[in-house]
Amino acid sequence: MDLQELYQELILDHNRQPRNRGVLECGGHEADGYNPLCGDRVHVTVELDGDVIKDIRFEGSGCAISTASASIMSEAVKGKTLTEAKYLFEQFITLVTEGPEAVDDPEDLGKLAAFAGVGKYPARVKCATLAWHTLTSALKGEEDTVTTE
């Protein structure tokens, strides 16, 4: 199995069985995201413990890329500090817009590296980044729905 197939399998797996799906009742930090280009919708709730993301859940409906991205993101940021999560977000955006050569250290990305091929399909970049923009909005406490437009 080459790397491309492995990445594809990872995305399909997270789409079929999304991790951290649902809503945190004690959340406190939440936001909605909408990608009108594809119709993806996501709702993210986050529980913070100081500046650490103690828990995160998401729900919504969307294409395989948006669902898998929200699922893999939730695993990637859980237990991370806000600074670490912001760094991952920046690296992820760099990966999907500029390609794997542009990121600081591909090892930092872990499973997020599965989205490396998304950059070839500009419309899909919005599907892949929707959950991240929504997480950022939730952490800032913004009430409005985030759109990718």
CB 15 → Zn ion: shortest distance, Å? 11
Closer residue to Zn ion, CB minimum distance, 31 or 42: 42
- Residue from 7, 8, 27, 38 binding Zn ion (CB under 5 A): 38
Closer residue to Zn ion, CB minimum distance, 38 or 82: 38
Q: Write down the residue that tokens 């390609």 correspond to.
A: 99
CB 127 → Zn ion: shortest distance, Å? 3
40 binding Zn ion? (CB under 5 A): yes
Residue type, 126: K
**Span from 24-32, 38-46, 112-120, 138-146 in contact with Zn ion (CB under 5 A):** 38-46
Cα–chain center distance at 16? 16
Q: Under DSSP, is residue 42 helix (H, G, I), strand (E, B) or coil?
A: strand
Determine the angle formed by the axes of helices 64-77 and 82-98, rounding to 10 degrees.
150
63 binding Zn ion? (CB under 5 A): yes
Residue 55's H or E segment, with its range, is strand 52-61
How many of the other CB atoms lie within 10 Å of CB of 50?
A: 7
Residue 58 main-chain phi, psi, to 5 deg? -140, 155
66 binding Zn ion? (CB under 5 A): yes
CB 108 → Zn ion: shortest distance, Å? 25
- Residue from 127, 128, 131, 138 binding Zn ion (CB under 5 A): 127
Decide: 35 and 124 in contact? Cβ < 8 Å: no
96 binding Zn ion? (CB under 5 A): no
By the criterion CB under 5 A, which residues form the site for Zn ion?
Answer: 38, 40, 63, 66, 127
